Chains A and B, each alone.
Chain A
Amino acid sequence: MTGMYEKVLDWVNDFDHADPEYNERAHEIWEEFQGSECPVAHSERYDGLWAPFTYEMVHEIAYDTEHFTSQGVVVNTGRPLIEAPVGPAPPITSDPPFHNIARRLLLPPFAPKVIAEWEPEVRRLCNDLLDRMGAITEGESIVDGAVQYAQSIPVNVIARMLGFPQEDEALFRDFVHNVLERINEPAEDREAFMQPLADYLDKQIEDHRANPRNDLTNYLLNAEIAGNKLSDEHVRGSILLLLVAGIDTTWSAIGSSLWHLGTHPDDLQRLVDEPDVMMFALEEFLRAYAPVTMARLVKDDYDFHGCPMKANDWVLLPFPAANRDPKQFEHATQFVIDRQENRHGAFGLGIHRCLGSNLARLELKVAVEEFVRRFPSFTVDGDTRWSVGQIRGPRELPLRVVKTS
């Protein structure tokens, strides 16, 4: 299980998103901050951490590359070893002007029309997972929407794109858990338990060098900046990004969407009766249950709306909270399945807009469509276990199948 933490008793002055209570009660906690005089949490944990919860503040920081660096995007007890402007996992950890160069290398393989071609493959994968659930008895069978379904979808797709062995699926989830959930363990322990991931990536890169094939790993190995091949560090960092960012983010979005449908029968019925409403529902799942909170580091001491931020303090960018800010969205705390105006920031705002957003959308849409097609009626039945840390989504999600198609 995750981490050693001291239970948070004061969310304003001793904030810690690694306390399991945070993701369980997130919506409530954000509402409290958004309704209070001071919508920014602070903590001495992680050697200094701030968390603003309004859309306006999150938007401001996302656009401000002068006072905040992306060099570190996962809050933890240490600080990143590879410095700006490249950072340990380009382009997500890169700052301008290098950021744009590293990002343009990776945009074409994730462009909308390229990603659209994966749709039949994703649909087949979802149906395989549903088939593997075995015989289902209406009203009796309980399936785990997170463990038996959501968690396997993105990991399979990204492994295929990178050209990594499918059978290493469990290993990837373990790596991602180490990076994103074991954030409050001592920095030296983190270095030790992250080593197998670095070794694994080196082994894969070696294998791709020796046996080139048509996948993203070789794409990165062949890529050039101003006529020069990328450094080993850059290649390894970008693969690390694709592997980590492409797995439990989308897994969380799929799980949260199924959780919503399993607790809101009217919305589930609407999707069953009117499949075209998915065009709006998809964006509303992303707004109301955005899984990803990003982070920045403060460059130099900076007074942010009266908050005395110190150089090297962490700042969380809770886009999921911004998406539920009543000052920005009408009926912000309600799920409106056919919401017409929905400028949510689930994939971030500004220059670091999620590179994989088109793939994430495709996986979320297809995963929900296929699940609902197979099980047109289901309810959450039992305890949902939520993730810990910056990515919010169900890790265990017991669903009772009421009706099969």
Chain B
Amino acid sequence: MRVFVDEEKCQGHNRCFAIAPELFDVDDYGTAFALNDGAVPAGLVDKARLAAANCPEFAITIED
């Protein structure tokens, strides 16, 4: 599984970083980006889905 953050859509709500700091980080302007090229380890699949389901701007997509 991989996660992607669309930086154009991200407005810095910081929901993904709060839910899954193992998978996402934010820059100095609050814009999110995926860590490790978006690779999701097996144990973090649920957290990845939770992060995507809580983005108010629908900026996160998941590739299974």
Q: Once the chains are docked, how many angstroms separate the CA of A283 from the CA of B54?
A: 10
The residue that B13 contacts in the complex, of A279, A340, A357, with Cβ under 8 A, is: A357
A-B contact count (CB 8 A): 52
Give the size range of B's interface with the partner.
20 to 34
B30 touches A111 (CB 8 A): yes
A interface residues, how many (CB within 8 angstroms): 23
Q: Known interface pairs A108-B28, A112-B26. Does A341 touch B13 (Cβ–Cβ under 8 Å)?
A: no
On chain A, the residues within 8 Å of B61 by CB distance are: none
Which single residue of chain A is at the shortest CB-CB distance from B12?
Answer: A353
Alpha-carbon gap, A344 to B54, bound state (A) = 8
Question: How far apart sit A353 and B54, CA to CA, in the bound complex (Å)?
Answer: 15
Q: Which of B11, B28, B54 contacts A111 (CB 8 A)?
A: B28
Interface residues of chain B: helix, strand, loop or mixed (majority): loop
CA distance A361 to B17 in the complex (A): 13
Q: Which residues of B contact A275 (CB under 8 A)?
A: none
State the Cβ distance, A362 to closest chain B Cβ, in Å: 11
Task: Tell me how far the C-beta of A12 lies from the nearest C-beta in chain B, rounded to whole angstroms.
Answer: 29
Any A CB within 8 A of the CB of B41: no
User: Are A111 and B26 CB-contacts (below 8 A) given A340-B50, A343-B53?
Assistant: yes
Measured between alpha carbons, how far is A113 from B28 in the docked complex, in Å? 8
Is A349's beta carbon under 8 Å from chain B? yes
A353 touches B53 (CB 8 A): no
Q: Contacts A104-B29, A107-B29 known; A112 to B54 CB distance under 8 Å? A: no
Q: How far is the CB of B14 from chain A (nearest CB, A)?
A: 5
Inter-chain contact A341/B12, CB cutoff 8 Å: no
B54/A341 in contact, CB under 8 A = yes
Known: A108-B28, A358-B30. A347 touches B50 (CB 8 A): no
How far, in whole Å, are A104 and B14 apart by their CA atoms in the complex? Answer: 16
**Shortest CB distance B18–A (Å):** 8
For A345, list chain B residues within 8 Å (CB): 56
- State whether the Cβ of B45 lies closer than 8 Å to any Cβ in chain A: no
Give A336 to B6 CA distance when docked, in angstroms. Answer: 29
* Neighbouring B residues of A343 by C-beta, 8 Å: 53-56, 58
A139: CB under 8 A from chain B?
A: no
Chain B hits for A351, CB < 8 A: 11
Output the least CB separation between A148 and chain B (Å).
29
Whether A342 is near chain B, meaning CB under 8 Å from some CB there, is: yes
Nearest-neighbour CB distance to chain B for A230, whole angstroms, equals: 18
Q: Which residues of A contact B53 (CB under 8 A)?
A: 340-341, 343
Q: Which residue of A lies closest to B10 (CB)?
A: A353
A110: nearest chain-B partner, CB-CB: B30
Closest residue on chain A to residue B53 by CB atoms = A341
Given contacts A113-B26, A347-B56, 7 further A-B contacts (CB under 8 A): A107-B28, A107-B30, A112-B18, A279-B18, A357-B14, A358-B14, A361-B14
Interface residues of B (CB under 8 A from A): 11-15, 17-19, 26-30, 50, 53-58
11 A-B pairs with C-beta separation under 8 A: A107-B28, A107-B29, A111-B30, A112-B14, A283-B54, A342-B54, A345-B56, A347-B13, A350-B11, A353-B11, A357-B12
